[in-house]
Homo-oligomer: A and B are copies of this chain.
Amino acid sequence: MKKIHGIFPPITTPFINGELSIDKLECNISKWNKTELGGYVVMGSNGESVFLTREEKLKLVEATKKFAPSNKLIIAGTGSDSIKDTISLTNEAAERGADFSLVLTPSFYKSEMKHDSFVKYFTIVADAIKIPVIIYNVPKFTGVDIDVETIAKLSQHSNIVGIKNSSENARQITEFAASTKKDFAVIVGTASMIFSGITSGAVGGIVALANIAPNECVQIQRLIENGKLNEALQLQQRMIPVNKAVTAKYGVAGLKAAMDMLGYFGGEPRAPLSQLADSDKENLKKILASAGLA
């Protein structure tokens, strides 16, 4: 099995007039291919996955696989509350080239989504799909949070190989790493946590910022692995304000605007999201400049 290690951008989905642009996707990927990114996450939260049809999703996986060199992992976000849909979409994504699936915790019935439900959901899914599962825990979007006991249990399943944890909680990352088997991949889900995550046992990051600052994200991890903690921390500190800007502050629209400013194709997010207001773009430009990115 391919090993998960390093930094992976949850790639944005390029739209022109609201429709998928595979051409623009190719442009972006060809640029990222020149970096040391570990691979690509298609249909993550920053890929506006929830706005895509099933057909669009599969087209995206296929195209990403085609444009990426074979040493870059393809991870496809395929989870939804429906176990049936999750299994069928994952298996089709696998046929189009996905190496791993990133499966969101079910979340609609929030008060019922506890240990037993999570164990049941991920076990049924993992048993039925052809590629390994990375659990995707993102409380700010789902309103549910998965416990360390649940992850410890699920990590025993041979087809569940990791967790992307999108909170900024370092205690949680530390516990996930400490309570799972040796080669279970704990992955941070925000670039603000690369430093704390990697030092606490994580093996990489699936982070929005890697769309626009792939080298910096890779470098934080590498500096830590080379024992240069102070340099790593300084780079981490420099990246936090820009990461906040393209995630919590301005969201996907902000990330896409930053891509446009930095030589990628960003474009507009799909409705009902809107592109950034001009004044916000000005502010974003300053934040990028302060961080040495533009």
Binding site for B on A (CB under 8 A): 45, 50-53, 80-85, 106, 108-113, 116-118, 120-121, 124, 140-141, 143, 168-172, 174-175, 178, 190, 192-193, 195-196, 199-201, 229, 233, 236-237, 240, 248, 251-253, 270-274
Q: Which residue of B lies closest to A52 (CB)?
A: B82
Given contacts A80-B50, A171-B192, A273 and B237 within 8 Å (CB-CB): no
Across the interface, A196 reaches (CB within 8 A) one of B83, B200, B253, namely: B200
| A82 x B196 contact (CB < 8 A) | no
Given contacts A83-B271, A84-B53, A195-B200, contact A240 B178 (CB under 8 A): yes
- Structural contact, A174 and B196, CB atoms closer than 8 A: yes
- A157 → chain B closest CB, angstroms: 15
Contacting pair A174 B82 (CB below 8 A):
no
- State the CA gap A50–B142 with chains docked (Å): 14
Known: A113-B272, A200-B233. 9 other contacts (CB 8 A): A50-B82, A106-B272, A120-B272, A168-B171, A169-B169, A169-B170, A170-B195, A195-B199, A199-B233
Which residues of B have CB within 8 Å of A143? 143
Known A51-B82, A141-B109, A196-B174; judge A121-B271 contact (CB<8 A): yes
User: Please, which residues of chain B bring their CB within 8 A of the CB of A192?
Assistant: 171, 174
Q: Which residue of B lies closest to A248 (CB)?
A: B111
Residues of B within 8 A of A252 (CB): 109, 112
Inter-subunit contact B174/A240 (CB<8 Å)? yes
A148-B78 Cα distance, complex, nearest whole Å:
35
List the B residue with the shortest CB-CB distance to A141: B108
Which B residues are in CB contact (< 8 Å) with A124?
A: 271-272
